[in-house]
Amino acid sequence: MTNSEAGIRPEQVVYCPPAEYREYAPFRDYESAYQNYLKDPDGFWRDIASDLLWFRQWDKVREWEYPFAKWFINAKLNITYNCLERHLKNNRRNKVALFWHGENGTKKIYTYDHLHRAVMQFGNALKNLGVGKGDVVCIYMPTVPEQVVAMLACARIGAVHTVVFAGYGASALNQRIVGSNAKVVITADASMRRGKSIPLKPIVEEALIHAPSVERVVVLRNQDPPTCLLDDFEVDFYEIMQAAEKKCPPEEMDSEDRLFILYTSGTTGAPKGIVHTCGGYMVGAYYTTKYVLNVKDNDVYWCTADPGWITGHTYAIYGPLLLGATIFMTESTPDYPDVGIWWKLIEEYGINVFYTAPTAIRMFMRYGEDWPNKYDLSSLRILASVGEPLNPEAFEWFYHVIGKGKCPLTDTWWQTETGSHMITTLVGEPMKPGFAGKPIPGVVADVVDSKGNPVGPFQTGYLAITEPWPSMMRYVNDDEEKYRSYWESPNHRYYSTNDLAIKDDDGYIMILGRSDDLIIVSGHNIGTAEVESALVSHQAVAEAAAIGKPDAVKGNIVKAFVILVEGTVRTPKLEHDLKYHVRQTLGPIAVPSEIEYVDNLPKTRSGKIMRRVLKAKEMGVDPGDITTLDE
């Protein structure tokens, strides 16, 4: 970062794709596709949207009243009709929609026909519980096929799902249930992790203590003996499904009706409920899975993200199903029973397109090439990465050791808020390790200074998106101010991504990381404020600040600085208690790896903690402008 600020050009490596890559290339060439988009943006999106089935066509492609956009005005659709019926109609009834591999080796296969039936019947089961169009259903489940069924069943009947990652603790879950006003919670008795079953239902029970909106809990029971259910309030997943009618026609949704809410960590205490709508999201997910990930009809496609994150929503579920692809999904962690498991699964299922995160790649690098080299990875055709910067070393390893130098590797930049890919290197274009790439056709982005003016090549600036796109979020918790805060500041009018970036002479963008108070740990984004408020809720803590400290494997770890309540004794047990407390409130992903006790925290004169100063000190670098620091 310092080099680039000084205008020094990092040494750039470029991989020019061999001729055969052109075969997979989605557009004939990037430049002409991008120019076509710029000439007629509405026409570009109209053509993409026309591949999909709409119950009623739109009157207009978009309405843009800065900063509010609507897409496919007055069009009617149902995303599940496009994920399911569209393929049944195309004679792909018996094609595999989903291969699922359990941690203990159990396999489940759903064809498109099976999935269609399951979704319809579970949709009716939800209706029987009183769930209707617009009602919110919270899904807190492990990565099992029933999770996909539950999400699609909501979309089928017009209910809004809010999926919460099953690694979150009770208080984080409670916040999301209350924030979204969920009427029903769907969970499982337990999830499998490294050979152990981790109970989920007790966490839900605790999360429901102050959650008055919840009327029913649906429990998927996989354990033996099955967990007991509370009469009337808790019901069994398969019992209610089997008791329901089989046929469930798709609810007709307006393009701008809500499809889902997904919480992402905020820079203030409360997580932000990002709302995506039916029409625009469907078009964005379809377009990018087809054109960026290049999933083809005969492929077996694996996105390793958990459905609890946006990558799981768009690229493990909706995008590939919109294409009629065969999805592979597993609850396996990358290192259990050993670090060869993912490569073994690639061989066993003949995975062609593999989409994962830099943190996983960096973990594998530590264990060496012998593990992947034990398996036949020749089915792989395309590799992709998401979640945080794919550093050049990790790029090289992924490209050479896994892809054997033959698979295009696309590093995809996007966010929960953007709904689908924004910046990447399309298959067939020259690849530059360390650089995500260029805005895809359909996206206008730039690197700008705080006044909104583009900065020169290799100068650090803010990554900004200047035109609306179909899968952009529509609201944040129905809070207009929060939504506006992404778009408006006194100096500029564009969507602020809150990421820092540089651009090279060819327009390739390198993402440097967040400019705000989010910490990306193993690709999961955690708000400093969430960790701090969890710590402060412990009786021994007077004040706390959290920062992301760079880590070779996880990208960042959480480090907390804590001011203890007067008279508290600093024992090793206390540190353990504090970590345990964060784990219980927020979940294991947010637990600080390091805790340092301090007497003061650097603050601005207005009393805001200057985490940037703590971070600079931690990393031994210059803290930059500290004129606002209160001495």
Give 255 or 425: the residue with its C-beta nearer to ligand WTA. Answer: 425
Chain centroid to CA 372: how far? Answer: 26
Give 73 or 365: the residue with its C-beta nearer to ligand WTA. Answer: 365
Residue 154 CA to residue 131 CA, distance in Å, equals 9
Closest residue by Cα to residue 326 from 292, 371, 295, 359: 295
Q: Smallest gap, in angstroms, from Cβ of residue 67 to ligand WTA? A: 18
Residue type, 38: L
> CA 271, 549, 561 angle in degrees (round to 5)?
75
Omega before residue 372 within 30° of 0, cis: no
Give 123 or 408: the residue with its C-beta nearer to ligand WTA. Answer: 408
Q: Smallest gap, in angstroms, from Cβ of residue 415 to ligand WTA? A: 4
Compute how many other C-beta atoms are within 10 angstroms of the C-beta atom of residue 371: 18
Give 489 or 604: the residue with its C-beta nearer to ligand WTA. Answer: 489
Closest residue by Cα to residue 284 from 589, 79, 548: 79
Closest residue by Cα to residue 153 from 134, 125, 177: 125
Q: Smallest gap, in angstroms, from Cβ of residue 276 to ligand WTA? A: 12
Give 152 or 436: the residue with its C-beta nearer to ligand WTA. Answer: 436
Q: Smallest gap, in angstroms, from Cβ of residue 497 to ligand WTA? A: 6
Residues that bind ligand WTA (CB under 6 A): 264, 309-311, 386-389, 411-416, 436, 497, 499, 511, 514, 520, 525
Give 254 or 446: the residue with its C-beta nearer to ligand WTA. Answer: 446
Per DSSP bridges, beta strands 136-140 and 353-356 are unpaired
Q: Smallest gap, in angstroms, from Cβ of residue 290 to ligand WTA? A: 18
Give 218 or 526: the residue with its C-beta nearer to ligand WTA. Answer: 526
Give 114 or 611: the residue with its C-beta nearer to ligand WTA. Answer: 611
Q: Print the SS3 string covering 584-605.
A: HHHCHHHCCCEEEECCCCCEEC
Chain centroid to CA 503: how far? Answer: 24
Q: Smallest gap, in angstroms, from Cβ of residue 446 to ligand WTA? A: 16
Give 499 or 530: the residue with its C-beta nearer to ligand WTA. Answer: 499
Give 387 or 433: the residue with its C-beta nearer to ligand WTA. Answer: 387
Q: Print the SS3 string covering 340-375.
A: CHHHHHHHHHCCCEEEECHHHHHHHHHHCCHHHHCC
Sign of the CA dihedral 398, 399, 400, 402?
Answer: positive
Q: Smallest gap, in angstroms, from Cβ of residue 185 to ligand WTA? A: 23
Contact 440, 291 (CB under 8 A): yes
Q: Rounded to a whole number, what is the distance in angstroms from the first to the last CA of the chain?
A: 27
Q: Smallest gap, in angstroms, from Cβ of residue 253 to ligand WTA? A: 24
Cβ-based neighbours of 493, under 8 Å, separated by 6 or more? 66, 67, 452, 487
Q: Would you state the torsion angle of the CA atoms of residues 84, 86, 92, 93, taken in this order, to the nearest 10 degrees?
A: 50
Q: Smallest gap, in angstroms, from Cβ of residue 279 to ligand WTA? A: 21
Q: Smallest gap, in angstroms, from Cβ of residue 423 to ligand WTA? A: 8
